[in-house]
């Protein structure tokens, strides 16, 4: 059979994933510090209210709106209103997840063969989804001192075929967050070169205590055509609901044209289910309870991380502006994959090696601050044992 060349990724699991699968299959005790699924993190969900909201949502007839039902889009506008940002429900398009949002936007903005500029290190699905859309993904490096935006590197990475700049803020896994000045400069660059800006803000609600008062969202950014991504998956700890959104802003004519074209794309899929759209106002409300638990857990785990690993010679813990991951940079002579494999074999701890995030210049492992506190503490203590050997 002649398959498309869109899938160029190696499909066999890598060495590390293979060993993790083997360990899991043997049901051995494991300290999993790679957990990113909040529904499996031992949080206390208001399950009865969620059930009622979904049951109520299922009662309605099917009358789809390609952009998403107005009640749901209004609820998303309300979410931004609570954060001091005024958005019209008409500037919002719903999708069944952030991945689908990326895919719609790459269809909207890139003819096959054109390219997107994406941050490195960052969320690995961005280049992968671009590849699936027949779009070239060209990395721009974040600063290798603190993984914040190095705008000179981004400006230097632009090619004539570039159509889009992607920023992830807070970034996964580095936790770096755009500042107001970064956003202004990025928008100026995008406007000057007729590039669209996509800002993935799924972790917006998890700033570190130090950054909580200076959170910057690109939603409503008027300076260049901007697509801000968010969703219930992280904002409410409800990935199973499959509801995310794109908030479109920028110069009036570009915004209007982009929204009309996005509606055309979304109409071909109509992928978001009616029950979850009907339930969205209640889910966004209830989500606040889950969000608060995640915030407290992430902050407490980070404190423990600093206490346990802070004094280990050669180890650097990078300051986290936001998100729920922490990057632990290993002593210079260590290799991330080798360390992660030893950690799993000798201490039964799962982490994510940095290379999985294209972290080429640093030997680091990523730990999830979402893990249940007892598991986190024990897992980090075990990491410390191996690091001190």
Ligand X SMILES: Cc1ncc(COP(=O)(O)O)c(C=O)c1O
Among 68, 139, 175, 231, binds ligand X (CB under 6 A): 231
Nearer to ligand X, 16 or 123 (CB): 123
Nearer to ligand X, 149 or 347 (CB): 149
- Find the length of the chain: 389
CB of 35 to ligand X, least distance (A): 11
Q: Write down the residue that tokens 């690993």 correspond to.
A: 309
3-class SS at 162?
strand
Interaction between residue 233 and ligand X (CB under 6 A): yes
CB of 236 to ligand X, least distance (A): 11
- B/e letters for 151-181, b = 16+ CB within 10 Å, e = fewer, are bebbeebbeeebbbbbbbbbbbbbbbbbbee
Site for ligand X in 243-302 (CB under 6 A): 244
CB of 98 to ligand X, least distance (A): 3
Nearer to ligand X, 241 or 286 (CB): 241
Give the count of residues interacting with ligand X (CB under 6 A). Answer: 13
**Phi, psi dihedral angles at 349 (to 5 degrees):** -115, 130
3-class SS at 177?
coil
DSSP string, 74-142: HHHHHHHHHTT----GGGEEEESSHHHHHHHHHHHH--TT-EEEEEESS-THHHHHHHHTT-EEEEEEP
Among 36, 91, 228, 368, binds ligand X (CB under 6 A): 36
Interaction between residue 168 and ligand X (CB under 6 A): yes
Site for ligand X in 94-113 (CB under 6 A): 97-99
Q: Write down the residue that tokens 């494991």 correspond to.
A: 30
Among 200, 205, 302, 336, binds ligand X (CB under 6 A): 200
Q: 98-109 and 252-269 are packed helices; what angle lies between their axes, rounded to 10 degrees?
A: 120
CB of 56 to ligand X, least distance (A): 23
What is the rounded distance in angstroms from the CA atom of residue 85 to the CA atom of residue 201?
Answer: 14
CB of 305 to ligand X, least distance (A): 19
CB of 222 to ligand X, least distance (A): 24
- How, if at all, do strands 196-200 and 226-231 pair? parallel
What is the rounded distance in angstroms from the CA atom of residue 267 to the CA atom of residue 262?
Answer: 8
Interaction between residue 359 and ligand X (CB under 6 A): no
Among 118, 123, 140, 357, binds ligand X (CB under 6 A): 123
What is the rounded distance in angstroms from the CA atom of residue 40 to the CA atom of residue 78?
Answer: 28
Nearer to ligand X, 172 or 352 (CB): 172
What is the rounded distance in angstroms from the CA atom of residue 36 to the CA atom of residue 369?
Answer: 9
Nearer to ligand X, 80 or 123 (CB): 123
Nearer to ligand X, 244 or 315 (CB): 244
Q: Which stretch binds ligand X (CB under 6 A): 217-225, 231-239, 301-309, 338-346?
A: 231-239
Nearer to ligand X, 242 or 261 (CB): 242
Positions touching ligand X (CB under 6 A) are 36, 97-99, 123, 168, 172, 200, 202, 231, 233, 239, 244
């Amino acid at each position: 059979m002649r398959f498309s060349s869109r899938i160029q990724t190696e499909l066999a699991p890598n060495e590390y994933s293979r060993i993790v699968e083997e360990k899991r299959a043997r049901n051995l005790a494991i300290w999993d510090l790679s957990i990113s699924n909040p529904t499996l993190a031992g949080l206390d969900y208001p399950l009865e209210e969620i059930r009622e909201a979904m049951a109520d949502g299922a009662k309605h007839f099917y009358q789809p709106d390609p952009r998403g039902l107005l009640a749901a889009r209004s609820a998303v506008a309300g979410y931004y209103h609570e954060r001091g940002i005024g958005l019209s429900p008409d500037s919002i398009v719903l999708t069944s997840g952030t991945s689908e949002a990326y895919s719609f936007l790459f269809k909207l903005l890139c003819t096959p063969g054109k390219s997107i500029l994406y941050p490195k290190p960052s969320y690995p699905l961005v280049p992968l989804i671009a590849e699936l859309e027949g779009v070239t993904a060209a990395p721009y490096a974040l600063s290798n001192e603190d993984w914040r935006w190095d705008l000179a590197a981004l400006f230097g990475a632009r090619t004539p075929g570039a159509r889009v700049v992607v920023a992830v803020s807070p970034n996964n896994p580095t936790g770096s967050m755009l500042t107001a000045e970064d956003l202004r400069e990025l928008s100026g660059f995008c406007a000057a070169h007729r590039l669209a800006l996509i800002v993935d803000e799924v972790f917006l609600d998890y700033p570190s205590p130090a950054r909580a008062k200076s959170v910057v969202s690109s939603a409503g950014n008027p300076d260049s055509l901007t697509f801000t991504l968010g969703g219930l998956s992280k904002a409410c700890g409800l990935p199973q609901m499959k509801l995310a959104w794109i908030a479109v802003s920028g110069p009036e004519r570009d915004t209007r044209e982009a929204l009309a074209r996005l509606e055309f794309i979304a109409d071909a899929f109509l992928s978001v289910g009616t029950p979850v759209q009907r339930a969205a106002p209640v889910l966004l409300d209830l989500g606040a309870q889950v969000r608060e638990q995640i915030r407290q857990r992430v902050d407490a785990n980070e404190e423990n991380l600093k206490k346990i690993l802070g004094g280990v010679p050669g180890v650097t813990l990078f300051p986290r502006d936001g998100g729920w991951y922490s990057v632990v940079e290993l002593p210079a002579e260590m290799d991330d994959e080798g360390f992660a494999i030893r950690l799993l074999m000798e201490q039964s701890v799962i982490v994510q090696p940095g290379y999985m995030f294209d972290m080429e210049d640093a030997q680091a492992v990523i730990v999830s601050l979402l893990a249940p506190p007892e598991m986190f503490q024990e897992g980090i203590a075990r990491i410390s044992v191996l690091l001190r050997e």
